[in-house]
A and B are shown apart, each in its own frame.
Chain A
């Protein structure tokens, strides 16, 4: 087990190294570097050269890369060229917002997706199944940001049930402990602040949840269909086990294995989807940092967000692989 974890962790390193080289070299070969972005198009060449020297951009690319890597390993990704603040600090501050949004979306997707997929499989070929399958196909075809606007227009502007944007009302004076707005309210017993944050969370989380929901429903349905046809399920049924026991211990336990992989993969998609959703709902998380970094060519921030995003993605998938051993004792990690 330990050896497996170590080996997988070692495999992560070349992936990240290669990614860092790609991101790094790629970003340096752009017309109009950060100095131009910082000083504006009409900056004199001398001033651009000055700033490049200060930022270390006049050195050969391999030298720059090694320096960058040395700093990155120690957690120093440099300062943002937009705000002049430490990039890692910025990400750290924005991270709770994005995690809160992604987890809420993932929660919705799992809580609705697994039962729906299971029901559809048990009703195979009947109207519920057919409409579920059609629903999942439509869900994937709707652009996330359009759905966001649609939800906003309907439930925030027309009906006024939810706030149209932001994470908290300005009128609420919430104490920040962890940065997770809903959790903070609970910790400090400011219930109204917690409720307020929760109400803000609903629409963006639903918008972000559609694609993972559709994917989870489809995988659950397919894998339940696979399992119910298996011999051991027939055996369990003919032994006279109650339907509940067969469902929980025999069908679901086996069927959820591929589902857990899918859930792991969704985390990467949630990060990407957050860029769009955060923009529609003015959410102010990592997605917003990334979007601003792109438009203003903030290299240090762009590198840090992309590399950390990939790191999270890879580590989550490792965790998913490890969780196999817990869900399915047949899997021996070696």
Chain B
């Protein structure tokens, strides 16, 4: 352990001598880490499939096929067959196409929920961290209260408040859960910087507070936030699936989103488990991909990076 630590430090100093920044060095470390590469490949494939979904998918999400419909009866949904690699869903649509198109919808849910949480969290964290004093006290009290409720319970109660179940409700509910996480994180890194030399220096130079916060403090905090966002993408997709499962998701059967597809597969588990299996596996792999990538990013950016 001592030896690897020593070697790392040596590499780090060499890197500095060669003029490489902490970020460049972290990137170099990431490229040698099989966990990071696995995560990046999963995420990369997912992003490509999501982006090109309409081109890759052989059929539309709502196309109904008479040849599948003929075989459809209570207690039987046609399985895989030529032309339909994953078989039919409960409404005689091509399940394979819906899985591919689902990548796009699922990514959208995760990204939007994370982005909303991120932006609101950053604003709150910035205000609290930059001003301190009573602004900080009030904002952090509120985030503490939100953190005092287990996240899924909070998401459930927010989603339950909507007049009718919908995808938007789920996204907002998951986003609200994400807000306090980002706010706390950013505030912490801002507070840690307030007394640090570079901030004291620019303040002494007479730089205005807004510029100090936005141009000197925020850029130093953004790395941690990006790491957290990668991990939050995974939990957002999982939480959204859980909310769909509880019946808080979109009632519209046309929408192809993995969480919803998994939730809608419940009545058919006995005779057509594939309808639940594929979306579940897809969710697990994607959540795993974002987690692997996020964890290794965190490790790489941690200057103490020993494990």
Task: Report A's interface with B, CB cutoff 8 A.
Answer: 14-15, 18-19, 22-23, 26-27, 30-32, 137-138, 140-146, 149, 153, 157, 222, 225, 229, 268-269, 271-273, 275-276, 279, 290-291, 294-295, 297, 302, 306, 309-310, 313-314
Contacts and interface: CB of A to CB of B under 8 A. Distances in A.
A143 B307 CA distance: 27
Contact of A137 (B142, B144, B291): B291
B287 interface: yes
A142 to B, nearest CB: 5
29 contacts: A15-B148, A18-B145, A19-B148, A26-B161, A30-B163, A137-B288, A137-B291, A137-B295, A140-B291, A141-B234, A141-B291, A143-B238, A143-B283, A146-B283, A149-B276, A157-B270, A225-B307, A269-B150, A271-B150, A272-B153, A275-B156, A279-B245, A279-B246, A294-B157, A295-B160, A302-B157, A310-B149, A313-B148, A313-B149
8 nearest A-B pairs in the assembled complex, by CB-CB distance: A272-B152, A294-B160, A268-B150, A141-B287, A272-B150, A141-B288, A146-B280, A31-B163
Nearest to B280: A146
B153 A309 contact: yes
B273 interface: yes
A276 B242 contact: yes
A140 B283 CA distance: 12
B291 A275 contact: no
Contacts of B234: 141
Q: By DSSP majority rule, is chain A's interface helix, strand, loop, or mixed?
A: helix
Nearest to A270: B150
Contacts of B283: 141, 143, 146
Nearest to B158: A26
B26 interface: no
A208 B180 CA distance: 25
Interface in B23-73: none
B284 A229 contact: no
A137 B283 CA distance: 13
A143 B269 contact: no
B145 A144 contact: no
Interface string B71-101: 0000000000000000000000000000000
Nearest to A14: B141
Interface in B232-255: 234, 238, 241-242, 245-248
The interface centre, meaning the residue of B151, B157, B288, B307 with most chain A CB atoms within 10 A of its CB, is B157
Given A141-B238, A272-B151, A19 B145 contact: yes
A31 B246 CA distance: 20
Interface residues of B, number: 40
A26 B295 CA distance: 36
A222 B273 contact: no
B242 A314 contact: no
Interface in B199-232: none
Interface of B: 1-2, 141-142, 144-145, 148-153, 156-157, 160-161, 163, 234, 238, 241-242, 245-248, 262, 269-270, 273, 276, 280, 283-285, 287-288, 291-292, 295, 307
B145 A146 contact: no
Q: By DSSP majority rule, is chain B's interface helix, strand, loop, or mixed?
A: helix
Nearest to B290: A141
A225 B1 CA distance: 10
A149 B269 contact: yes
B230 to A, nearest CB: 13
Given A146-B262, A153-B269, A294-B157, A313 B284 contact: no
A202 B195 CA distance: 53
A149 B150 CA distance: 23
A213 to B, nearest CB: 16
Contacts of A290: 153, 156
B185 to A, nearest CB: 16
Contacts of B2: 229
B130 to A, nearest CB: 23
B102 to A, nearest CB: 15
A130 B2 CA distance: 20
Nearest to B307: A225
A147 B164 CA distance: 28
A153 B274 CA distance: 13
Given A22-B145, A146-B276, A291 B161 contact: no
Contacts of B152: 269, 272-273, 275-276
